[in-house]
Amino acid sequence: MRFLFKTDYEDDIRLFPHSGYVVSYGLLLAVLLIAPYALSSYLMSQLVFVCIYATVGVALLILTGFTGQASLGHAAFLAIGAYTAAYLQKYGVPFPVYFLAAGLLTGLIGALVGFPALRLQGIYLVIATISFAFIVEEILARWESVTNGNEGMRIKAVSLFGITVSRDSPTFYFLCLAVLVLTIVGTLNLLRSPTGRAFVAIRDSETAARSMGVNVALYKVKSFAISAAITGFAGVLFAHKLSFISPEMFTLQLSIEFIIVILIGGTFSLHGAVLGAIFIVMIDPFLTYLKDDMPGIIAGIAATFGAGTQGAANIQSKVAAFASLNGLKGAIYGIIIVLFVLFEPLGLYGRWLKIKLFFQLFPLYKRATFKRQKIYVKSERNR
Partner 1 sequence: MLDFVQQLVSGVALGCVYGLIALGFVLVYKATEVVNFAQGDLMMLGGFFAFTFIGMMGLNYWVGFAGAVAAMALFGMLAERVVVRPILGYPQFSIIMATIGLGYFLRSVSGMIWGTDDFKIDTPFSQGVLRIGSLVLADDKLSVIAATVILCTLLWLFFNKTTLGTAMRASSENMLAAYYMGIPVKRVVSIVWAISAAVATCAGVLLAPITFIHSNVGLVLGLKAFPAAVLGGFGSIPGAVVGGVLIGVIESMAGFYLAEGWKDVAPYIVLLAVLLLKPEGLFGRHVRKKV
CB of 57 vs partner 1, minimal distance in Å = 15
User: Contact 85/155 with Cβ under 8 angstroms?
Assistant: yes
Neighbours of 369 (CB within 10 A): 12
Nearer to partner 1, 120 or 181 (CB): 120
Buried b (16+ CB within 10 A) or exposed e, 262-281: bbbbbbbbbbbbbbbbbbbb
Nearer to partner 1, 96 or 330 (CB): 330
Nearer to partner 1, 267 or 316 (CB): 267
Residue 336 CA to residue 327 CA, distance in Å, equals 14
3-state secondary structure of 359: helix
Query: Is the previous residue joined to 96 through a cis bond, with omega within 30 degrees of 0?
Result: no
Nearer to partner 1, 13 or 216 (CB): 216
Nearer to partner 1, 68 or 103 (CB): 68
Residue 135 CA to residue 148 CA, distance in Å, equals 17
Nearer to partner 1, 127 or 297 (CB): 127
CB of 130 vs partner 1, minimal distance in Å = 7
β partners of residue 165: 158
Within the chain, what is the greatest distance between any pair of CA atoms? 75
CB of 376 vs partner 1, minimal distance in Å = 4
CB of 115 vs partner 1, minimal distance in Å = 9
List of residues 6+ apart from 159 with CB closer than 8 A: 94, 95, 165
Nearer to partner 1, 8 or 380 (CB): 380
- Give residues in contact with partner 1 (CB under 8 A): 64, 70, 116, 119-120, 122-124, 126-128, 130-132, 134-135, 138, 141-142, 207, 211, 252, 256, 259, 263, 325-331, 333-338, 341-342, 345, 372, 374-377, 379-383
List of residues 6+ apart from 148 with CB closer than 8 A: none
CA 129, chain centre distance (Å): 17
Q: Would you put residue 162 in left (φ > 0), alpha (ψ -120 to 50) or beta?
A: left
3-state secondary structure of 100: helix
